[in-house]
Structure 1
């Protein structure tokens, strides 16, 4: 997507449960010299989308992934490069999400994406609900392809 290229986003980590992205402050600086709020939530949204997409693909499915809801809290200005970590919300599980996607052809889950401050603490935190919808339905057991 052209906006993502303009954001200069890089993948800095992926361990199967958490996706980490980064972007330089210089590409997101506002008139106050800190990261623009729209950039912070955009990076959080992108990280959560990427995490769901990776999980869906790892399960062998071809699905469209959509953001369905976002709650964001801007806690402190960020005067440094942007780093985000996206993971499932506590108490949620990928297996339940994948099982629902397999049986119903669609599933949704809540994720949390956090952008830390360099000195500790959180600059911005987003809680995001994502939905995945299979492009090609999975045949029911016993049905021919």
Structure 2
């Protein structure tokens, strides 16, 4: 685990994306190229006493954005601006408690292509997969596929 990177990411999110403070987003850990974020129910609750779909979408995007931010830093790239270009989300299960948003590494070949393209052109696109589960559960309540673009 890299607690310093996790803390730095949480501070960055709260500073650069103030909505994350109001949502109560916390970085749980950054380990083995997997990022996990905590999404509390209370500040994100809807009229059905479940986590609001917009908060779930935001949490899924943030997990992907944060994952890419951390991996770029590990690769020594600090001049890139990350944006979400496109995202598809499904909500197969309601989230009735605090949740965990998790983004894992894409295939190594996809990451290598992404880095090569970015270094050559100053712009590259990467597809990342995020899922959200209720805290303490392995059942994927939300599945997200995002196209992230990094440009100089």
Structure-to-structure mapping, 1:54-133, within 5 angstroms: 54-61=70-77, 62-89=79-106, 93-117=110-134, 118-133=136-151
Q: Determine which structure has the larger helix proportion and give its number.
A: 2
Q: Deviations over 1:82-132 (max 9, x none)?
A: 211012445753222111110111111101110114444211110001010
Q: If each structure's strand is expressed as a fraction of its own residues, which one has the higher value?
A: 1
Unmatched 5+ stretches in structure 2: 1-16
The residue aligned with 2:61 is 45
| Inter-partner Cα distance in structure 2 for 1:48 and 1:116 | 15
Superimposed CA distance per residue, residues 52-96 of structure 1 (whole angstroms, 9 cap, x where no aligned partner): 111122222211001011000010111010211012445753222
Aligned length in residues: 134
Alpha carbon RMSD of aligned pairs, Å? 1.6
Corresponding residue for residue 141 of structure 1: none
| Contact persistence 2:85–2:148 (CA under 8 A) | yes
SS in 1 for 2:141: strand
Confirm or deny: 8 A CA contact 2:39 2:101 kept in the other structure: no
- Calculate the TM-score normalised by the size of structure 2: 0.82
| Structure 1 gaps, min length 5 | 135-145
* TM-score when normalising by structure 1: 0.85
